[in-house]
Structure 1
């Protein structure tokens, strides 16, 4: 069946696409994911800004500090299985029920472990802060529902992400309305934390129901010790790598909260959220292209090299215009969106926005680590990132506060990308010799 959007294209462009069903599926899938992220970006930014204005930098900072603590252990819940499971579902479709069932069980256990670790961590870091400990406990329990993400892996492997978009957008809109209601009734901080848990729990439950309707009952899933062992044997470097990635993304907020104060965390988190908005669209394009890169590898090395180079160039150049504009207008952007109470966030944003360029290139390189089976090499890069980020934060945060955290993140992003390029070139030569 010809997609409706294809009929709307100019004849010359349509002729290049209409006889390529795999490309049509990838473009349709990308469209759904982009629509999802654009809605979330728009509505989420609007409601998120309203919440930030309502709470003020100190309470907003405390909430983000708690979220950062939980996020540090989120990688334990996911067990680094995303890319591996999608790859196996694409390449070994006949073993889908065993892969899905085993992955679900592993991530359920991983979610409980991550929840316990998060609670222990906040109890050690802030033993006398009852509010912070309660927030981490509530937000941490949401990690248990991460097991439902196995459904997203399946839909991603089938290039049918519209179903997950329907579910997650519906839940997102409901909870956005609830958050607005909480602001209007002047609800306390903890109410917004409960809303975050409700969103995750409802979305996870509905994803499982949608899968049951589209693909079959969950009782058809099977799990085995041998399959679990094979998945974990392959994913253990990715578990550590995912933890390292999350440390790079959230450790700055945790260290600011521990070494400075909640208000600085609030300003810094406001800047980070604005910067991350511009990374959503290129990141979604890359995720949608991932299955086609795997398929290209199976067809020919030449096609695979061409795809990788095209996507790398797209990622490297796609975010540059936004980075330049935000850098030049960072103070005005922050004042317009968050108000004068978040004035300090402008400087943080001007620095942090540049992390998007190396981050998106690294996103593509990380996919290559999966496809080439160089997971241990990817782990080396992750360890470098963690050591660099933590050491730089320890040195720069006491001197420059939030500015030091932003500089540390930028230096680490650039260094990690350059190291990844060097390793992949030494193993494959793909970026130096892309033609045979």
Structure 2
């Protein structure tokens, strides 16, 4: 399917697909373990405690863009084009992320000390979950491997340490530990992932001490990423604000039902992320060769992502009740309707990945900010009005509408992005185009 749509011919692109295989293998492995352990945790804690746990994790996740600083795609692009300066690029970005991570965690510590969270328990869970941001600085190593399209070792090491972190969660389940321990286990997973990245890099380069800091490189990275940090923050905000608002406007049980549905719905979001990251160098390569080839590859990637997301959403819509009962049990039956609605947001998440890569390749960071902010604002407004009336179902409806705005409809409003609007529109008629052929 992928080979037919992407039209693989060159050895370079086959290398990208090999890299994609290892990324997909790791993500699928993590997905299966996460589904199994996550369901076990949900069954063990019950809807109320599970909702409280997800409130803390959602809050902590919103902090991630403040540490990543919009550098993920920018770093891959910079390392791809300037591999000889990798020590300076990696060192500078690592220093920046380390300072940001420590600052963000210190801020959460201050918030907790002064009781700025709705309840003390929620604040404690947020604090434990936000420990994860301290270890995000090591993700610069992952960008280096992505730029080289060599993720095999990273995938293996991360998989090993992920098994360890999952084993700790299972141990907590067997010992019927309180919800706070699972928040700590969430952060521990990021700590172990950082160790895996360090080991992977040391195996290739031998030392991290060759990294160098450069003020000029820092300014260059900030100039290219400052808009992306705002757009990334807006993106995470409209991904997680529904759970945060549900936690404040409804009961913990309602949030537990919604969180269970969202976990299954979002479990597939790794697919466009992995494919997009792995094939991004191929897109950049096509752009350097010719505009026609570049545009064709964008269209093919869009077609692939739409087909995958549509059939996934269609199948889950008619099987949601079955999967909720099998995975979570009768206690979570209210989650089924939410899942049937929320799963369709994935179509726009898949397309958004294509758009994000195109925006980076075209240096149109301003639109990334504009679209993400519009999505965040629309999601907050829609949730504000729909949650009090429909609860979790209203949050799911708000999610679909806001995702469609930020990833599709807003593209038609600007001349610079209208071409992507029609590319996505063509993808939505992909079955018709294939039938004509």
CA apart distance, 1:169 = 0.8
CA apart distance, 1:133 = 1.8
Distance 1:60 1:124, change over 3 A: farther
In terms of mean alpha carbon deviation, does 215-224 or 384-393 score higher? 215-224
Q: Residue in 2 aligned with 1:36?
A: 26
Q: Residue in 2 aligned with 1:139?
A: 129
- What 5-or-longer segments of structure 2 have no aligned partner? 425-437
Alignment partners' CA distance in 1, 2:113 and 2:251: 18
In the alignment of these two chains, the number of paired residues is 420
Alignment partners' CA distance in 2, 1:124 and 1:387: 28
Q: 1:272 aligns with which of 243, 254, 262?
A: 262
Alignment partners' CA distance in 2, 1:358 and 1:432: 14
SS in 1 for 2:258: helix
Is contact 1:365-1:420 (8 Å) kept? no
2:380 equivalent to 1:390: yes
Alignment partners' CA distance in 2, 1:193 and 1:30: 31
1:246-294 Cα distance to aligned partner (Å, 9 max, x none): 0011000000001112111111111011011233323322221111101
1:14-69 Cα distance to aligned partner (Å, 9 max, x none): xx97x732122111111101111111111110111011100101111101000111
The alignment's C-alpha RMSD in Å is 2.1
Q: Residue in 2 aligned with 1:288?
A: 278
Is contact 2:165-2:192 (8 Å) kept? no
2:406 equivalent to 1:416: yes
Is contact 1:362-1:420 (8 Å) kept? no
Distance 1:278 1:424, change over 3 A: farther
Is contact 1:282-1:319 (8 Å) kept? no
2:301 equivalent to 1:298: no
For 1:258-269, what aligned pairs fall within 5 Å after superposition? 258-269=248-259
Q: Residue in 2 aligned with 1:22?
A: 12
Distance 1:412 1:431, change over 3 A: closer
2:204 equivalent to 1:225: no
2:343 equivalent to 1:353: yes
CA apart distance, 1:121 = 5.4
Alignment partners' CA distance in 1, 2:306 and 2:206: 40
Alignment partners' CA distance in 1, 2:158 and 2:417: 39
1:285-337 Cα distance to aligned partner (Å, 9 max, x none): 22211111011111111111011000011111112122112111212221111
- What 5-or-longer segments of structure 1 have no aligned partner? 1-11
Q: Residue in 1 aligned with 2:241?
A: 251
Q: Residue in 2 aligned with 1:183?
A: 173
Is contact 1:74-1:114 (8 Å) kept? no
SS in 2 for 1:219: coil
1:372-405 Cα distance to aligned partner (Å, 9 max, x none): 0110111111111111011001111111111111
Is contact 2:57-2:183 (8 Å) kept? no
Taking structure 1 as the reference length, the TM-score comes to 0.91
1:174-201 Cα distance to aligned partner (Å, 9 max, x none): 1212211221122221222222222211
Q: Residue in 2 aligned with 1:208?
A: 198
Distance 1:109 1:277, change over 3 A: same
2:174 equivalent to 1:161: no
Q: Residue in 1 aligned with 2:35?
A: 45
Q: 1:322 aligns with which of 309, 312, 319?
A: 312
Alignment partners' CA distance in 2, 1:397 and 1:69: 18
In terms of mean alpha carbon deviation, does 237-246 or 104-113 score higher? 104-113
Distance 1:21 1:127, change over 3 A: closer
Alignment partners' CA distance in 1, 2:112 and 2:346: 30
SS in 1 for 2:209: helix
Is contact 2:228-2:369 (8 Å) kept? yes
Q: Residue in 1 aligned with 2:427?
A: none
CA apart distance, 1:421 = 3.1
SS in 1 for 2:177: coil
Q: Residue in 2 aligned with 1:241?
A: 231
Taking structure 2 as the reference length, the TM-score comes to 0.91
Distance 1:176 1:72, change over 3 A: same
Is contact 2:411-2:417 (8 Å) kept? no
CA apart distance, 1:117 = 3.8
Alignment partners' CA distance in 2, 1:188 and 1:419: 44
CA apart distance, 1:126 = 5.4
SS in 2 for 1:319: helix
Is contact 1:212-1:218 (8 Å) kept? yes
Q: 1:85 aligns with which of 75, 83, 86?
A: 75
Alignment partners' CA distance in 1, 2:313 and 2:268: 8
In terms of mean alpha carbon deviation, does 66-75 or 147-156 score higher? 66-75
